[in-house]
Copies of this chain bind each other. A is one copy, B any other.
């Protein structure tokens, strides 16, 4: 499998994607259309927030059965807490896209991100969809990734080429993250496309598996947005026989999908509000996958760990406190902790005992932009990763600015 940095959604056979500026945001593209050929299937996972936004409610209906072939998305307004009118507006977005594509409205997923509790500027949104459709074939590649950003510091995309048993599939993805000041909440959106031939039901299972190990393991500030959505479309354009679960081909596809989502998840975590460092937490030796994930998340989301990372402070006391706080199976006398980065790898705790005279070396390991905390529980075979970022003064400054 290869990750190709300069390839985009439109480089996956069968797919078109465009982003335009519809003047919903002050500048930069803000309406996006991602379209597969007839026969494309889709799957999606959504926020569990009880206040799910209108586009999430509509997309949940549309994705049932997997007969979807397009995604329409706007940035600048989240269409959340907008009541009946919001549902009408989300449906109108799907209808307008479907009219251009010659498909049924329910074959279109709808996503929105931006400020909540405000009426959608539907005139601009619909004009944007028209413009996207008109220019669908002339995209150069990066437009869609740009079009879903809000206050992200950069567009986020990833592309994997998967080769297995003489066949080649492609998986590409774009995402927007948590670098949000004005729209009040850290909506995460990710759209992936593939030319692999996968049934709708299998695609759903593969997406859930990949998202659980990637998007569900990011934590910026522990808050969950009303609009979070991760969707994938599969065109089958590769043309070979359908992949079957449990085969090396499907495993390779899962690996490709997970790698793309993992890249996007890492980019989102590293681009958190005010973040100056990407924190990767890897938990090994857990007695269950659930425990490994709970602990990895607990460490990655601890404000005290995040603040320590910001100060380049190898404060393992805060790490073990987070490890011990989530109710997972832990034996304090067996826990080892190590810091890793491009600057080196330094153990600070071995089998529950502090290692003397390592803190200066450990602090040096925390200086690079990407840092890993490795926790070995020494209890079992399960491992998990989670991603977060440091907590900076800028996070607070951003988020306390009067924005309502």
- Mark A residues whose CB is within 8 Å of B: 48-52, 80-81, 83, 116-117, 184-186, 221-226, 301-304, 307-318, 320-325, 327-328, 330-332, 349, 352-354, 359, 363, 390-393, 395-404
Contacts and interface: CB of A to CB of B under 8 A. Distances in A.
Contacts of A393: 393, 396-397
B226 A117 contact: no
Given A81-B320, A320-B51, A307 B399 contact: yes
Given A311-B401, A317-B404, 6 more contacts: A51-B320, A184-B317, A185-B317, A222-B302, A304-B399, A315-B403
Given A81-B317, A317-B184, A325-B223, A396 B307 contact: yes
Given A223-B318, A315-B403, A303 B304 contact: no
B50 A324 contact: yes
A404 B325 contact: no
B396 A391 contact: yes
23 contacts: A48-B327, A50-B323, A50-B332, A52-B324, A81-B317, A117-B354, A184-B317, A184-B318, A185-B318, A221-B302, A221-B304, A222-B303, A223-B304, A224-B325, A303-B399, A307-B396, A311-B400, A313-B400, A313-B401, A313-B403, A314-B404, A391-B396, A395-B396
A49 B404 contact: no
Contact of A321 (B223, B311, B327): B223
Contact of A223 (B322, B400, B402): B322
Given A311-B402, A317-B117, A185 B353 contact: no
A310 B224 contact: no
A272 to B, nearest CB: 11
A contacts with B: majority SS: loop
B352 A302 contact: no
Contacts of A325: 48-50, 223-224
Given A117-B354, A223-B321, A392-B396, A185 B404 contact: no
B402 A221 contact: no
B321 A185 contact: yes
A390 B303 CA distance: 13
A403 B222 CA distance: 25
Contact of A353 (B83, B332, B396, B398): B83
B400 A323 contact: no
- How many monomers of this chain does the complex have? 2
Contacts of A349: 81
A309 B225 CA distance: 19
Contacts of A186: 304
A354 B396 contact: no
A359 B404 contact: yes
A118 to B, nearest CB: 9
Contacts of A221: 302-304
Contacts of A301: 222
A395 B391 CA distance: 10
A328 B51 CA distance: 12
Contacts of A184: 304, 315, 317-318
A49 B335 CA distance: 14
Contacts of A391: 396, 399-400
A399 B222 contact: no
Contacts of A320: 51, 81, 226
A395 B321 contact: no
Nearest to A400: B311
Given A185-B318, A311-B401, A399-B304, A81 B49 contact: no
A327 B224 CA distance: 11
B83 A352 contact: yes
Contact of A399 (B311, B317, B359): B311
